[in-house]
Structure 1
Amino acid sequence: MDKAELYRDLKAEIDAVVAGETSVTARYATASCILAQAFKPRFFWTGFYVVDPLKDRELVVGPYQGTLGCLRIPFGKGVCGHVAATQEPIIVPDVHAFPGHIACDSATNSEIVVPVFDDEGQLAAVLDIDSTEHDAFDEVDREGLVAICQGLLTA
């Protein structure tokens, strides 16, 4: 099975598991788990940073699989904050070369971050996936993760 097909299968699995589930936390936890298990060990850290409704323009760590994550990230800071501010996915082949990178875990060498939008089109969270490998992510990963995130809060 090629990677694009795997992502289609994972999207179908995630959609089926979370169908009817009203808890956003449960949806994020399920997606984190399924993705982390499917791509282990390439996905070193897989999880969500959720827009904090009580703090303007700040992300707070949500459900994840992996080592300790940063607890809070301001919009515009690091890779996750960049995606929160721009609302566009990003692939970073070498996080050490990314201006303002926040090293939550020094073992991370590359990263992909994808925005998650609610039913009203508002930013709800970002999906953050880190790898210990350099240049671990490509356009197939981006397309697959964007598709998963597009249906995550509406499935």
Structure 2
Amino acid sequence: MFTQTDYSGTRTEQYSMLGKQLDALLTGETNRIANLSNAAALLNQFLERINWAGFYLMEDGELVLGPFQGLPACVRIQVGRGVCGTAVSEKKTMLVKDVHQFPGHIACDAASRSEIVIPLIKDGEVIGVLDIDSPELSRFTEEDQKGLEAFTEILLNHL
């Protein structure tokens, strides 16, 4: 059973603890939706100053809303469109300090000002993305990117 942990230490140590918690939480469970749901809930509890954390999953050539924590969101996103679609088409993490400066940004929540999107790549194929939004400009750092990319690698082992 999951119990909340004190996230003390450096940010790198905190992300390491988060990864261990995710692994323990998902070990033994094979249901993809359950695992994505718990991963979104864990991120929402761990990350401060965010207003949305969740997943979009590839389905019939487009991203479709998956498990998340936050306000209702856009349901479908075309590959190549917005931050999420660009992460899929480029197969790389998108760290956006100001979403209003990102060409073609899709504003699901007008309060969002910065965003990080990490593609979920399994066997060389993008199966979805992790999307996290914040109401603060420049909320996400390269340290967050490294920690969240490590988080998604652990998650992918359970999908």
**TM exceeding 0.5:** yes
Distance 2:58 2:35 in 1: 15
2:54 maps to: 47
3-state SS in 1 of match to 2:45: helix
- Aligned-residue offset at 1:114: 0.4
Gaps of 5+ in 1: none
2:102 maps to: 98
1:78-104 deviation per Cα after TM superposition (whole angstroms, max 9, x unaligned)? 000000111100110000000000000
1:149 maps to: 152
- Aligned-residue offset at 1:124: 1.0
Distance 1:37 1:148 in 2: 14
Distance 1:110 1:71 in 2: 20
1:23 to 16, 31, 52: 31
- Which residues of 2 match residues 107-118 of structure 1 at below 5 A? 107-118=111-122
- My pick for the range that moved more, 17-26 or 90-99, is 17-26
Which amino acid is the alignment partner of residue 56 of structure 2? Y
Does the Cα contact within 8 Å between 1:27 and 1:153 map onto a contact in 2?
no
Report the identity percentage.
44
Distance 2:154 2:45 in 1: 20
- Aligned-residue offset at 1:121: 2.8
Gaps of 5+ in 2: 1-8
Which amino acid is the alignment partner of residue 106 of structure 1? A
Q: Which runs of 4+ in 1 moved over 3 A?
A: none
Distance 2:47 2:146 in 1: 15
Does the Cα contact within 8 Å between 1:94 and 1:109 map onto a contact in 2?
yes
How well do the aligned residues superpose, as a CA RMSD in angstroms?
Answer: 0.9
How many residues are aligned here? 150
1:123 maps to: 126
Distance 2:23 2:67 in 1: 17
Does the Cα contact within 8 Å between 2:116 and 2:133 map onto a contact in 1?
yes
- Aligned-residue offset at 1:134: 0.3
Does the Cα contact within 8 Å between 2:22 and 2:154 map onto a contact in 1?
no
Does the Cα contact within 8 Å between 1:49 and 1:61 map onto a contact in 2?
yes
Q: 2:11 aligned with 1:3, yes or no? A: yes
- Aligned-residue offset at 1:33: 0.4
Does the Cα contact within 8 Å between 1:24 and 1:153 map onto a contact in 2?
no
Q: 2:22 aligned with 1:14, yes or no? A: yes
3-state SS in 2 of match to 1:115: strand
3-state SS in 1 of match to 2:54: strand
Distance 1:137 1:129 in 2: 9
